[in-house]
Amino acid sequence: MTFWKVLLVILAVLWLISLIRIGGRVRYGQAGLFVTALAGPFKIQLLPAKERPKKKPKKEKKSKKEEKPKEKKPKPEGQPGTLSRLMKLLPVVGQACGSLKRKIRVDDLELELIWGGADAAAIALGYGQANAALGMIWPLFANNFKVKRHSFQIGMDYGAAQPMVELQAAVTMTVGQIVTLGVHYGVKALIVWTKSGRPARKKAVEKPKKQEAMSHE
């Protein structure tokens, strides 16, 4: 019974870990660009990066023996190139991107756009274009991703010297979803990559010996 209890505890812990959401948050505005990595309740600021104390440069040691340049091994005949192998991976990448659509969750999406400038007509025109663009983009966005919370505010300010934008977005996926997709499409990509690395077989062109003998006669 102790074995089954331990196994149940391990499975419960793994299940709880699979529910942890991992992702990132991007915020852009007048203060600049901020990028934060999210892992459950933990947050790690990526941009702007914190300044680290500068290390003293190490003195380079002079090597007594000059290193000989490494000779490049000739590529065997019929061996496919790296570019052609990468091209064969594109269908797998497309499938993975299609599966990500409904897996990624947009936890927070905020947009505040205040259109300003020196010309009143240009402000009105820009305001109309921004609303039209949002009306076309948002349905495509909402139909392909799960959006938990969103807020859009577009306005005009004739006293502002230039348009002002404040954008914030946070996207996450669960650990279970990441592992499932990674294993599934990782195995597919590995199989395609391995098969594409095999050299092409040459077709035999030599005639049978009997035909050669008859031709000499």
88 residue type, one letter: K
- 172 neighbors 23 (Cβ within 8 angstroms): yes
CA dihedral 187, 193, 198, 203 (to 10 degrees): 100
Least Cα distance to 176 among 44, 13, 4 occurs for 13
Cβ(134)–Cβ(89) below 8 Å = no
What single-letter DSSP state applies at residue 172? Answer: E
Note whether 171 and 107 are within 8 A (CB): yes
pLDDT digits (tens, 9 = 90+) for 147-187: 899 999 999 998 888 889 999 999 999 999 889 888 988 89
Determine whether 108 is exposed, middle or buried from the number of CB atoms within 10 Å of its CB (0-12, 13-18, 19+). Answer: middle
205-214 confidence digits (pLDDT tens): 444 555 554 5
Give the residue among 27, 50, 14 at the shortest CA–CA distance from 171. Answer: 27
Q: Which residues pair with 32 in a beta bridge?
A: 29
Mind listing the pLDDT tens digit for each residue in 53-93? 666 666 655 554 555 556 656 555 555 667 777 788 888 88
Instruction: Write down the domain spans for the chain.
Output: 80-197
